[in-house]
Amino acid sequence: MFHFKHFSLSDENVAMKIGTDAVLLGAWTKVSGALKILDIGTGCGIIALMMAQRSPARVDAVEIDAGSASQAAVNTDLSPWSDRIKIINSSIQDFSRSCPSTYDLIISNPPYFSNSLKAPSPKRSLARHDDSLPIHQLMLAASKLLLPGGSLNLVFPWDSTDTWLTEAGNLDFHATRLTRVIPREGKSPGRVLAEFRKELCPLTESQLLIRSRDGSYTEAYKALTADFYLGL
């Protein structure tokens, strides 16, 4: 069981365990004005819970793996925001074809590994590799479900930034915020936090350093995650 400041959750039955990527994305994403939020690939439900903590919005959370969806449902039912979070066991492709709803904020920590060695567990491969959710299909689903003026928020590897930006542009998404995440001082960026919109807006770029050379968390990282992590 993982304990955050305002909720606790388990990832025992989930293929992809709780990690820094999800927490960073959930804390970094702008939620002001959001009334309906969609979390694609919720896993154990951590990002859905973070969205509910940070906003008054209703949150739909889609998860293709039945075991993960079940775990997410348990976690969200035990949270203070159970009346505002709905877990849906479905692929986002099927959900986007049948869902009549649209959202003013879509968020996803997607499976983004391509052409790499797959995990022995089929469930873990499903959660980590993009076979079941290629970039284009994720962007296409988001394009169908996003309201005008809404934003799509993602985290992906730094070295695949050009691919993500190209796929986004093919569906008329424009990057409006990009934050390079550097795991430790002196290292190269490992991840990118990205906000996309359909409207043309100036692009804001920044970087976030997680740890200093001595291994301590930076003040910027502590400030970003202060509402969630205990002890920061």
Buried b (16+ CB within 10 A) or exposed e, 46-80: bbbbbbbbbbebbbbbbbbbeebbebbbbbbeebe
Indicate if the pLDDT at residue 92 is higher than 90: yes
- Number of continuous H segments (helices) and E segments (strands) in the chain: 8, 10
Indicate if the pLDDT at residue 127 is higher than 50: no
3 state DSSP class of 96: helix
Indicate if the pLDDT at residue 11 is higher than 80: yes
3 state DSSP class of 60: strand
Confidence (pLDDT) at 101: 85
The answer to whether 47 and 217 are in contact (CB under 8 A) is: no
Q: How far apart are CA 18 and CA 16, in angstroms?
A: 7
Domain contains 213: yes
pLDDT, tens digit, for every residue of 148-167?
Answer: 999 999 999 999 999 999 99
Domain contains 80: yes
Q: How far apart are CA 37 and CA 151, in angstroms?
A: 10
Confidence (pLDDT) at 100: 84
What is the count of structural domains for the chain?
A: 1
Q: What pLDDT band is residue 126 in, cutting at 50, 70 and 90?
A: very low
Indicate if the pLDDT at residue 32 is higher than 90: yes
Q: How far apart are CA 137 and CA 62, in angstroms?
A: 14
DSSP 166-189: HHHHHTT-EEEEEEEEEEETTSPP
Indicate if the pLDDT at residue 113 is higher than 90: no
Domain contains 107: yes
Residue 52 φ then ψ, to 5°: -70, -35
**Residues of the chain above pLDDT 70, percent:** 91
Distance of CA 181 to the CA centre of its chain: 14
Domain contains 81: yes
- CATH code for the domain in which residue 100 is found: 3.40.50.150
Q: Token digits for 73?
A: 């449902």
Confidence (pLDDT) at 131: 60
Distances, alpha carbon 184 to alpha carbons 121, 158, 189, 212, 215, in Å: 30, 14, 9, 6, 7
146 bridge partner residues: 103
Per-residue pLDDT, averaged over 118-134, amounts to: 53
What torsion do the CA atoms of 16, 20, 26, 30 make, to the nearest 10 degrees?
-140
3 state DSSP class of 77: helix
* Mean pLDDT over each residue of the chain, to the nearest integer: 92
Task: Please state which of the ranges 52-56, 128-132, 175-179, 190-194 shows the lowest mean pLDDT.
Answer: 128-132
Domain contains 231: no
Which residues span the domain enclosing 103? 2-225
Q: What pLDDT band is residue 132 in, cutting at 50, 70 and 90?
A: low
The answer to whether 40 and 110 are in contact (CB under 8 A) is: yes
Confidence (pLDDT) at 130: 45
- According to DSSP H, which parts of 78-192 are helical? 92-98, 122-128, 135-145, 161-170
